[in-house]
Amino acid sequence: MNLTLDIGNTSIKWATFEGKTLKDSGRWTMGDTAANSFQNEWNKLKEDCEQEIACASGDISTLGITPTLLNHHTPLPIKLNYRTPETLGADRVASACGAWALNPGKDTLIIDAGTCITVDFLSSEGIYHGGAIMPGLKINLQALHTFTAKLPLVSFNRETNVPLLGRTTEESILAGTLGATMLALAGFVTAYRQRCPSLQVVLTGGDADQLLAAGNNGWDYQPHLTLIGLNEILINLHK
């Protein structure tokens, strides 16, 4: 089996695959688990897997795990048309590979709603062309609180019902943050569809559920997109 890990700023998501079939998955939350516990879980997974790969947003040296890390030298099942591949986030690359596995031969826009929100374009020829990076929901909420004198720090959760029209300061902040984000993303989709009418849109990331709750846009929600892409990279490496 293959083991893939998406090591983010607040959590580690993992999945095991038999060929292209996802067999199991899980999440470890940063801060809630000691480094030796990470190592114990890692060792258990490694026992059943023949090869592994990870994408990491930050330093993993203190976590007690030693996966092979995706970098700009790793052979890929897609081509990169990016001026600075050495600065391109490994998670963006892995998600593009996942989108190609799910939608081969189709123009695809990948929206990853994490700490930052990325919007990336993968052409029908399997070429990654780049995209956009914008602040995520939590960053925007934190910025409003940090750079103003009176606005409180509020947060989203899975039960948050965000109104279009806020009738309290807290509701207004949530409505503005989510509304601005959704309008920005809808604008990106519209602009790309003007160039690629048959565009597929794939949504992933930790805040994807909040975006989905804001309205059904016909986007394909794939919570394991990055992990699927990492598995495709492993398969490509061992053809």
Amino acid at 22: L
> Which one is catalytic: 91, 107, 120, 207?
91
Q: How far is CA 179 from CA 41, 103, 140, 156, 216, in A?
A: 39, 29, 12, 13, 14
Spell out a b/e string for 155-177, using b for 16 or more CB atoms within 10 Å of the CB, else e: ebeeeeebeeeeeeeebebbbeb
DSSP symbols for 172-213: HHHHHHHHHHHHHHHHHHHHHHHH-TT-EEEEESTTHHHHHH
d(CA 121, CA 17): 26
91 assigned to active site: yes
Write out the catalytic residue numbers: 91
